[in-house]
Amino acid sequence: MAPKTKKRYFGTDGIRGRVGSEGMSPEMALKLGWAAGMVLKQVSNAPVIIGKDTRISGYLFESALEAGFAAAGVTVRLLGPMPTPAIAYIATTFGAVAGVVISASHNPYYDNGIKFFDNSGRKLSDELEQAIEAMMDEPMVCVPSQLLGRVARINDAAGRYIEFCKSTMAHGLRLNGLKIVVDCANGATYHVAPHVFSELGAEVITIGNNPNGLNINDGFGATDPAALQRSVLREKADLGVALDGDGDRLILVDHTGAVLDGDDILFIVMSGQDEPVKGVVGTVMSNMGLENYCQQKGIAFHRTPVGDRHVMEKLIKEGLKFGAEPSGHVLCLDKIQTGDGIIAALQVLSVMVKHKVGLNALKQGFIRYPQELVNVHLARKIKSIDDERVVEAIKKAEAQLGEQGRLLIRLSGTEPLIRIMVEGKDAVQVKQLVQQLESIVSEVYGK
């Protein structure tokens, strides 16, 4: 097989960057819409669906993409603010050639991004992305006026998606009697998620649901669950649900205020199935305790590089249904073909209701290895972590851990960060090693 051509625009999760930079400028979005339109209309004459999260720059990029697609002669349907998985779902049910999401997911408001889904609800193939990149290098030529794409808005998108989410609950199960705090991260789920849980019978308290264009992911949501923890304890709720800015991540909080990440959620979903699960997919960041549990139960545990795209590819290759990243991307391919925070939460709630036990009790069979994760902000852009001092520090730490733990240092694919993860059986040793590595990495690469 020939090696994949390195892409200049598309990263592991579409195109993402600081608004106004070369990578996320109005000019780039206009050209991208045109280039994607020229490529996608060779696949189908069906419309393109465009949705966005709540950050202020969404208006800018929505208009630029809309103009680019129209110039290529592609019909556009606009959804406005909608969760990423909702855009993927509606693209499939609407018969669109693709769904386009304007979002930087869990990043701050001053970043934004653009990613594509095909007509099956999955991320575009490498081949299509490479074809779009090649078209970006061509001069932009507008089709004749009579062939320009038309633009219209889909006004009932939220209602369609709410009903779909509700349909993924196990048949006949309701959430009556449960008190749930829902944190929408001031993002794309603010007008959707509360309705899903309340219409299924739960008493819902909502936080992080007043977006102003600048407060997405700011002090709320899956990347910062402290506000949710406080709210769950204050309201004496049964659990809390934290979504991120575009709704594809999920973090839970139990009635004691303890946080459950993607590893916990994957454990609960797979262990709560009526039929035996033959395998699941995690990443290099997944806790060793989860892998040990799977080994004990005869469940194949597959690791991939970080990124839900890699998890998805492995699930498809192995013919499996369930996968997750600790960060909260949870894939339940028996329900939807992309990560969906609301639907993942409903699968956990289905297990709770079916077994009539609390969230805290459901995670008890999962014995975690102590794990520490820190981020070091980069002072400059680097392509690899290859400084001799850092490499030597990594070797020493790995020797100390031996076979009783793991160490991972990697560049973030979405932010200017180096992520350091250490886990092992000895919590004191783990903390000491991560502090040592953080110190040397900060000295060499940090601000």
Q: What is the CATH number of the domain that holds 394?
A: 3.30.310.50
Beta pairing, strands 371-377 & 417-424 = antiparallel
Per the domain annotation, does 359 fall within a domain?
no
234 and 265 in a common domain: no
Per the domain annotation, does 168 fall within a domain?
no
Statement: residue 4 has pLDDT above 70: no
199 and 142 in a common domain: no
DSSP 236-273: T-SEEEEE-TTS-BEEEEETTS-EE-HHHHHHHHHHT-
Supply the pLDDT for residue 210: 98
Catalytic residue among 57, 105, 286, 350: 105
Statement: residue 128 has pLDDT above 60: yes
Q: Which of 314, 311, 313 minimizes the C-alpha distance to 329?
A: 311
Statement: residue 429 has pLDDT above 90: yes
Per the domain annotation, does 78 fall within a domain?
yes
**Diameter of the chain by CA atoms?**
70
Q: Which domain holds residue 377?
A: 371-445
Statement: residue 163 has pLDDT above 80: yes
Q: Using the 8-state DSSP alphabet, how is residue 148 labeled?
A: P
185 and 270 in a common domain: no
Per the domain annotation, does 354 fall within a domain?
no
Supply the pLDDT for residue 149: 97
Q: Are 222 and 243 in contact (CB under 8 A)?
A: yes
Q: Which residue has the higher pLDDT, 447 or 331?
A: 331
187 and 152 in a common domain: no
Q: Of 218, 238, 258, which residue is a domain's last?
A: 258
Per-residue pLDDT, averaged over 300-322, amounts to 95
Q: Of 233, 258, 283, which residue is a domain's last?
A: 258
pLDDT band at 5 (very low <50, low <70, confident <90, very high): low
324 and 195 in a common domain: no
31 and 109 in a common domain: yes
Statement: residue 217 has pLDDT above 70: yes
Per-residue pLDDT, averaged over 207-215, amounts to 98
| Strands, E assignment, 144-278 | 151-153, 179-183, 203-207, 239-243, 250-254, 259-260
Supply the pLDDT for residue 12: 67
Statement: residue 2 has pLDDT above 50: no
149 and 86 in a common domain: yes
312 and 197 in a common domain: no
Per the domain annotation, does 214 fall within a domain?
yes
Active site residue 105: yes
Statement: residue 13 has pLDDT above 90: no
Instruction: Give me the number of domains the chain comprises.
Output: 4
207 and 334 in a common domain: no
Per-residue pLDDT, averaged over 151-165, amounts to 96
- pLDDT above 70 covers a percentage of the chain that reads 98
Per-residue pLDDT, averaged over 255-267, amounts to 98
Q: Of 258, 278, 296, which residue is a domain's last?
A: 258
Per the domain annotation, does 81 fall within a domain?
yes
Token couple for 139: 């001069």
List pLDDT tens digits, range 325-379: 999 999 999 999 999 999 999 999 999 999 999 999 999 889 999 999 999 999 8
List pLDDT tens digits, range 411-427: 987 788 999 999 998 99
Report the chain's mean pLDDT, rounded to a whole number.
Answer: 94
Supply the pLDDT for residue 416: 86
pLDDT band at 66 (very low <50, low <70, confident <90, very high): very high
Per the domain annotation, does 10 fall within a domain?
no
181 and 104 in a common domain: no
In this structure, what CATH number is given to the domain that contains residue 186? Answer: 3.40.120.10
Sheet holding 322-324, edge to edge: 300-304, 279-283, 322-324, 330-332
64 and 132 in a common domain: yes
pTM of the prediction? 0.90
48 and 149 in a common domain: yes
Statement: residue 23 has pLDDT above 90: no
pLDDT band at 8 (very low <50, low <70, confident <90, very high): confident
Supply the pLDDT for residue 6: 65
Per the domain annotation, does 401 fall within a domain?
yes
Q: Are 283 and 306 in contact (CB under 8 A)?
A: yes
List pLDDT tens digits, range 95-111: 999 999 999 999 999 99
